[in-house]
Amino acid sequence: MDTDVEGHPLAMDMEGGYCGHGGTKRWWDAQFDSFPDLTIEVLDMVEADGLTIAKLCMRGHGAGGSVPVRTVIWRASRWRDGKCTWWGTFRSEDEARFATGVAR
C-alpha cells in the first residue's frame, strides 16, 4: 500500500473512507474483528493501465457465531510503482468498471 492510499469499502456511507497505512490497518482490524476466520479467494481479475478489478469470494463466520457467511465482491485498485494508491469495493463488476471508467 502507498503511504497515502485511499480505501472505499462497501459500507462507506456508514464507515467513511480509510486513508494511509493507519486507515488500512483499521479496516483490516474491523474485518477480522467481525469475521475472525475470514478468507478471501481471487476468482478472476482483469488488469488495465495501472488498475486491477478482481472478483473475490469472502468467507468466514461472524464473531461469536457459527453461521457461515459467503459473499462475492469486486475490488478495484489503482497502482503506482507497485503499490496500491486507491481501492474501492463494489457489489458488481459493472459497478467497479463504471467507477473506474474501464469499459468491457
Instruction: Give residue-wise pLDDT tens across range 52-98.
Output: 999 999 999 999 888 899 999 999 999 999 999 999 999 999 999 99
Residue 46, classified by CB atoms within 10 Å of its CB into exposed (0-12), middle (13-18) or buried (19+), is middle
pLDDT higher for 49 or 40?
Answer: 40
- Write down the pTM of the prediction: 0.86
Residue 15 has pLDDT above 80, yes or no: no
Nearest to 44 by CA among 52, 53, 55: 55
Q: For the chain, give every domain's residue range.
A: 6-100
Cα 100 to Cα 61: distance, rounded to the nearest angstrom: 31
Whether the Cβ atoms of residue 52 and residue 28 lie closer than 8 Å to each other? no
CATH ID of 6-100, from 3.60.15.10, 3.10.450.50, 3.40.50.1000, 3.40.50.2300: 3.10.450.50
pLDDT at position 72: 97
CA neighbor of 86 nearest in space, from 75, 97, 74:
75
